[in-house]
Amino acid sequence: MTETTAATPAVSTEATDRVIIFDTTLRDGEQCPGASMTFEEKLEVAELLETMGVDVIEAGFPIASIGDFESVAEIARRSKTAIIAGLSRAALNDIDRCAEAVKQAKRGRIHTFLSTSPVHMKYKLQKEPHQVLEMIVASVTRARNHVEDVEWSAEDGTRTEMDFLCRCVEAAIKAGATTINIPDTVGYTTPQEYEALFRTVRERVPNSDKAIFSVHCHNDLGMAVANSLAGLAGGARQIECTINGIGERAGNAALEEVVMAINTRRDVLPYRTGIDATLLTRASKMVSGVTSFPVQYNKAIVGRNAFAHESGIHQDGMLKHTQTYEIMTPESVGVTKTSLVMGKHSGRAAFRDKLKALGYELGENALNDAFTRFKDLADRKKVIYDEDIEALVDQGIAAAYD
Ligand code: KIV
Ligand code: ZN
């Protein structure tokens, strides 16, 4: 096997705390049932991702359809700063098609992958390990003939036998891969295991420092974000993720959660990204809108309740100091303000505050009376709007004049 010099990574990670954000909403995200987007919608999402500061946008799987090819090519043509990646299997015609799609990008990447786990090699590929190794060398070499920036992924990497995984990674780096991704394709790993996997591979593989290591985690056991962050501790410096965590089956690691975990807990997660977090809510709404996938109310960072407080104790605390029940500000993710939702759990302090915001200054007796009637209403009605509160105060005032 001849050694090819790995290309200089397109995003500098010289400062070792810089994490590359690779967004795959338009590829892995779009792959989940019901999430398909139109050509225009994909362009709109890609534009916002680039404005947000996403480093790498995986725009699609060019061989999959003419539509996919055209959207990757157009996103590549319009790109200004982001690297535009296309996915391809380890087949030479796939790779050539992908190269054609990304060629107009200022910075194009070919992302090629092959399964390496025993179960995938035996049943899916029906190939022997030595054949898989040959295919890795051939596919990465072909991709490097087209572009300098080549990512290679060991599909089902976390269920791959360690010695073989190291041989595959070594072969990919020798053939010229500049990024090595070890995906947790089926969402099977745990944070401790995933961190150890990266440490071991990076220690054992010669010239591992020539490539940037990447995490790609699925959420089948709800650990995608935790696993991704653990991968960083093991030396990975690229995170593959999607807006709202959409993706195959239970989805991928959610971009907004990864970014805000890093921004909020720098004390224990000593990294930084290039993402403008104030655009996270807008991106979440856009992706939810174009895919028609609702965002669960209690979704971290971007769910409708992420900055809402209803219980009396919490509302009272929030009125005294916002840090009592909020670890990040709503403004930091693009939400205008915290909402103190009025409901049956709300207390007198929040009720008084709400009245003040609505322009009412009631004396103690009128306040007590209004509060009793508010509690009564809240027992009957799930959502209390400002208009409901105004109506009950106005009724009280009118009754006082009868
Ligand atoms: O989950 C996975 O293994 C993938 C690869 C194609 C990177 O999406
Ligand atoms: Zn995936």
Which pLDDT tens digit goes with each residue over 339-376? 899 999 999 999 999 999 999 999 999 999 999 999 99
- Weakest-pLDDT range from 2-6, 10-14, 203-207, 213-217: 2-6
Residue 7: pLDDT band by 50, 70, 90 thresholds? very low
Among 23, 25, 26, 28, which residue has the most ligand 1 atoms within 8 Å of its CB, making it the best to mutate?
A: 28
Residues having CB closer than 6 A to ligand 1 are: 28, 113, 153, 155, 181, 183, 185, 216, 218
- Residue 252, annotated as binding a ligand: yes
- Weakest-pLDDT range from 161-175, 177-191, 348-362: 348-362
**Matching residue, tokens 């010239």:** 207
| Closest C-alpha to ligand 1, atom 2 | 185
Q: 231 CA to middle of ligand 1, Å?
A: 16
The number of CA neighbours under 13 Å toward the Cβ of 51 is 11
Residue 338: pLDDT band by 50, 70, 90 thresholds? confident
What is the pLDDT, as a whole number, of residue 8? 47
Residue 394: pLDDT band by 50, 70, 90 thresholds? confident
Q: How far apart are CA 187 and CA 174, in angstroms?
A: 28
Which stretches does DSSP call E strand in 50-161?
A: 56-60, 83-88, 108-115, 149-155
Residue 52: CB atoms within 10 Å: 22
Q: How far apart are CA 57 and CA 176, in angstroms?
A: 21
- Given 3-state DSSP classes, what are the helix, strand and coil percentages for the chain, each rounded to the nearest 5? 50, 15, 35
When the pLDDT of each residue in the chain is averaged and rounded to a whole number, the result is: 94
| Closest C-alpha to ligand 1, atom 7 | 153
C-alpha 125: how far from chain center: 29
Q: How far apart are CA 363 and CA 237, in angstroms?
A: 59
Residue 401: pLDDT band by 50, 70, 90 thresholds? low
Q: 60 CA to middle of ligand 2, Å?
A: 12
pTM (predicted TM-score) = 0.92
Among 58, 88, 156, 185, which residue has the most ligand 1 atoms within 8 Å of its CB, making it the best to mutate?
A: 185
- Residue 276, annotated as binding a ligand: no
What is the pLDDT, as a whole number, of residue 382? 84
- Residue 218, annotated as binding a ligand: yes
What is the pLDDT, as a whole number, of residue 153? 99
φ, ψ of residue 303 to 5 degrees: the values are -70, 155
